[in-house]
Copies of this chain bind each other. A is one copy, B any other.
């Protein structure tokens, strides 16, 4: 495996198996002399944590951030910031049944085939637990961007077939408190209630359900993005698809743009360079155009379910498996900070490169 580093100037490298000693990472290229608010960072990281509500898994992981380098008297040194969280609540015995069978739609078999070995105590490196390192690094990046007037806000847009209406999005957007007031991180109370019901029902059925996250980034100036291959949305696309369970990404009009005419889709300029509409989603030609960057991310239902499933064993012969661990019926509420973190890492990387031109 050699894909544990993300970014060109701001680079995050992560490590850690779900049931190993620790999960952590190194954030290199972060600007110096920036005062990191570690309390705020812990709050941000805790949004990803299991066990936050009755809706999600009850595993207890304190996810307490330990910083090992790159920070001196509260400020960034400009040197690599290393951080880690120990794996506290790894009950290996819950997972011992995974040794000889491969869980459907999990990466167990793929890792075994690729590497000829795997840490069968859990998902290992393919576990979503890996994302805690991204959220820590992304949370630091997010704080820096905020100090420069760039704000990232994601929320749950859809669970199953229950989707937030577009008009609601605009009303509730950037309302952190309305999002956090919702157990499913959907800022509109009625939609949130319907989503909660659906998740509880799904959980009761021993099943899981998919969902989508919408994200808006405000305050990005003209000029971020490096055509032709490192277009801003191309690297955001890589960043978002690298998150566990993501099956689709769209910017601005996205898939609905397929059915539109050019005369409808074109974002007409108004004096000064802003546009009336924003079907482009804040990026044209791979370069930010100072409008809000809007995108939407589709998550499949998580693969672990309580129901018994047909599968194969280590001899690749047929077998059955029954989920025993404590897992989420719907992962998207916990994925909100992960989406924000990957967006923050990507945007800050381009923001630093953009300074070269100024």
Contacts and interface: CB of A to CB of B under 8 A. Distances in A.
Contact of A270 (B29, B111, B318): B318
A330 to B, nearest CB: 10
A337 interface: no
Interface stretch (A57-65, A175-183, A205-213): A205-213
A33 interface: yes
Interface string A104-130: 111101110111111100001110001
A292 interface: no
A248 interface: yes
Contacts of A302: 262
A22 interface: yes
Contacts of A303: 262, 265-266
A223 interface: yes
A285 interface: yes
A353 B106 contact: no
Nearest to A280: B105
Contacts of A209: 260-262
Nearest to A84: B68
A219 interface: no
Contacts of A228: 3-4, 14, 125, 130, 242
A254 B250 CA distance: 11
Interface centre among A15, A226, A268, by most B CB within 10 Å?
Answer: A15
A6 B109 CA distance: 29
A106 to B, nearest CB: 7
A62 to B, nearest CB: 17
Interface string A79-107: 11110100000000000000000101111
A79 B266 contact: no
A126 B231 CA distance: 11
A227 B126 contact: yes
A22 B115 contact: no
A166 interface: no
A113 B223 contact: yes
A80 B4 contact: yes
Given A15-B26, A207-B263, A263-B305, A32 B240 contact: no
A258 B252 CA distance: 18
Contacts of A32: 1, 114-117, 357
Interface stretch (A37-45, A70-78, A185-193): A70-78
A333 interface: no
Interface centre among A227, A250, A357, by most B CB within 10 Å?
Answer: A227
Interface string A127-167: 00010000000000000000000000000001111000000
26 contacts: A1-B28, A1-B226, A3-B226, A9-B9, A15-B80, A15-B81, A21-B66, A21-B68, A22-B82, A23-B69, A77-B124, A78-B357, A79-B124, A109-B269, A114-B223, A207-B263, A208-B263, A212-B255, A237-B249, A249-B249, A257-B298, A257-B299, A265-B301, A271-B317, A353-B356, A356-B356
Given A31-B356, A209-B262, 17 more contacts: A1-B32, A2-B226, A3-B225, A14-B228, A15-B82, A20-B69, A21-B68, A22-B82, A72-B119, A78-B114, A106-B284, A207-B261, A209-B261, A241-B249, A253-B300, A258-B299, A355-B356
Among all A-B residue pairs, the 4 with the closest Cβ atoms: A107-B285, A3-B230, A3-B226, A2-B29
